[in-house]
Amino acid sequence: DTAVSQTPKYLVTQMGNDKSIKCEQNLGHDTMYWYKQDSKKFLKIMFSYNNKELIINETVPNRFSPKSPDKAHLNLHINSLELGDSAVYFCASNWGTGGNTIYFGEGSWLTVV
Amino acid sequence: ELKVEQNPLFLSMQEGKNYTIYCNYSTTSDRLYWYRQDPGKSLESLFVLLSNGAVKQEGRLMASLDTKARLSTLHITAAVHDLSATYFCAVRYTGNQFYFGTGTSLTVIP
C-alpha cells in the first residue's frame, strides 16, 4: 500500500482552468503538507495542516486553496491556472510533534498551456 | 529571512572518489534532514540528525551536524553510479516548518 498517494500524477490543462489535486495518507500522521517544486528543483512549502487545521500558509496566491476533510486527506484546489503554476506538487505527511521526518507522495506533474 | 543553502549545486564525480556536500542554514534549528530524489521521482528520507555532533552512516553516505556552525555535511565515500541523484537537506523550524535547501545534483561517472 502506498503511504502517501496523490492523484492525478500528470495533469495538462489550459490557462484559466480550475483543477484539483487529491492527497491521502494511510500512515496515521496528524500533519500534512503541500510543497511545490519548480523547474530548478527548488522545493517550497505552501501549506501545512495539523488535524484538519491550517498551520502554515506561506505566501501563496489565493487562487490556491487547500482543504482537509479529515486528517488523512489534504486536497489542493487551484483556480484560474496560470503558466507559472506549472510545477510538480508534492503532498507529504508526518507526526507534527517531535519533528519527525516527512514522507512524500509521488508528486503531481502539472503543466499549464 | 530563513535560508538553507547547499553547495555545490551540481557535482560530477568519478566512480571511486570521495566528496562532500555542504548544507548551511541561517537560523537555529534542532533537526536536520537529508533526502534523496531520483529523476522524476519522489523524495526519500536518508538521515535525521537530532543534535550537535550527530553522525549517521548508511552505506557510502555519512551525514554530520554542527549546530553551532549551522552546518551539515553529507560525505560520499567511493562513489558508485547508483548514487547519482539530487540530494536535499532540510531544516525544521518553529511550528514544524520544514525548509529545504537548494539541492545538489550529483552525477557519478565511470
Chain B residues lying within 8 Å of A35, measured CB to CB: 100
The per-residue pLDDT for B31 is: 86
What would the pLDDT profile of B30-60 be if each residue is shown by its tens digit? 789 999 999 999 999 999 998 888 999 999 9
Cα gap A34→A83, rounded to integer Å: 19
Contact B22, B73 (CB under 8 A): yes
**Does A107 sit within 8 Å of B96, measured CB to CB?**
no
Cα gap B7→B94, rounded to integer Å: 25
The per-residue pLDDT for B103 is: 96
The per-residue pLDDT for A50 is: 87
Q: Which of B30, B45, B100 sits opposite A43 (nearest CB)?
A: B100
Chain A residues lying within 8 Å of B98, measured CB to CB: 33, 45, 102
The per-residue pLDDT for A99 is: 67
In sequence order, the 6+-apart residues with CB closer than 8 A to the CB of B103 are A41, A42, A43, B6, B9, B37, B86, B87, B88
The per-residue pLDDT for A98 is: 66
**Does A42 sit within 8 Å of B102, measured CB to CB?**
yes
Q: Got the DSSP string for A10-69?
A: EEEE-TT--EEEEEEE-S--SEEEEEEE-TT--EEEEEEEETTEEEEE-S--TTEEEEEE
Q: How confident is the model at residue B28 (pLDDT cuts 50, 70, 90)?
A: confident
Contact B92, A100 (CB under 8 A): no
What would the pLDDT profile of B89-100 be if each residue is shown by its tens digit? 999 887 778 899
Residue B99 grid cell: 525548509
Q: What number of residues does chain A have?
A: 113
Give the number of A-B residue pairs with CB atoms closer than 8 Å. 52
Q: Which of residues 10-69 of B touch A (CB under 8 A)?
A: 30-31, 33, 37, 41-45, 48
Chain B residues lying within 8 Å of A106, measured CB to CB: 41-42
Average pLDDT along chain B: 93
Cα gap B17→B1, rounded to integer Å: 36
The gap from C-alpha B6 to its chain's centroid, in whole angstroms, comes to 8
Contact B48, B93 (CB under 8 A): no
Distances (CA, A) of A47 to A15, A89, B6, B54: 23, 11, 23, 30
Q: What is the DSSP letter of B30?
A: S
**Does B99 sit within 8 Å of A104, measured CB to CB?**
no
* Residues of chain A under the 50 pLDDT cut: none
Bridge partners for B90 per DSSP: B33, B100
Over residues B82-107, the mean pLDDT reads 91
